[in-house]
């Protein structure tokens, strides 16, 4: 699945951050791409998903990971990223 590989590559690149010494900001800088990677992988997976349980799990992952990214950004006073549209499949 090509979209899955792209999501992994993007996530790994995003997590490769230079430490600033601000442990809170460094944590968010590494965790946000990790969470976004899960979202991107689910978005790539959903159009091809056969298993209803996995489809539902990915739909839940998209929502919860977006909420967690928002919570982390708010905790450090960073602007919120754009959200991913809710999957309809």
Q: Is 53 a member of any domain?
A: yes
**pTM (global) more than 0.85:** no
pLDDT at 2 over 60: yes
Q: Is 69 a member of any domain?
A: yes
Residues 3-45 pLDDT 10s: 767 776 776 676 677 899 999 999 999 999 999 999 999 999 9
Q: Is 81 a member of any domain?
A: no
Instruction: Provide the domain count of the chain.
Output: 1
Q: Is 26 a member of any domain?
A: yes
Q: Is 23 a member of any domain?
A: yes
Q: Which positions ≥6 away from 59 have C-beta within 8 Å?
A: 42, 46, 86, 87
The confidence score (pLDDT) of residue 1 equals 64
Residue 76 pLDDT grade (very low, low, confident, very high; cuts 50, 70, 90): very high
Per-chain mean pLDDT for the chain: 87
Q: Is 56 a member of any domain?
A: yes
Domain region containing 49: 2-75
Q: Is 28 a member of any domain?
A: yes
The confidence score (pLDDT) of residue 39 equals 96
């Amino acid at each position: 699945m090509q979209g899955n590989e792209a999501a992994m590559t993007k996530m790994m690149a995003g997590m490769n951050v230079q430490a600033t010494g601000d442990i809170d900001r460094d944590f968010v800088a590494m965790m946000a791409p990790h969470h976004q990677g899960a979202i991107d992988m689910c978005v790539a997976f959903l159009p091809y998903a056969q298993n209803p349980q996995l489809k539902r799990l990915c739909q839940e992952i998209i929502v919860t990971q977006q909420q967690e990214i928002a919570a982390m950004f708010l905790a450090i006073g960073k602007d919120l990223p754009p959200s991913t549209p809710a999957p309809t499949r």
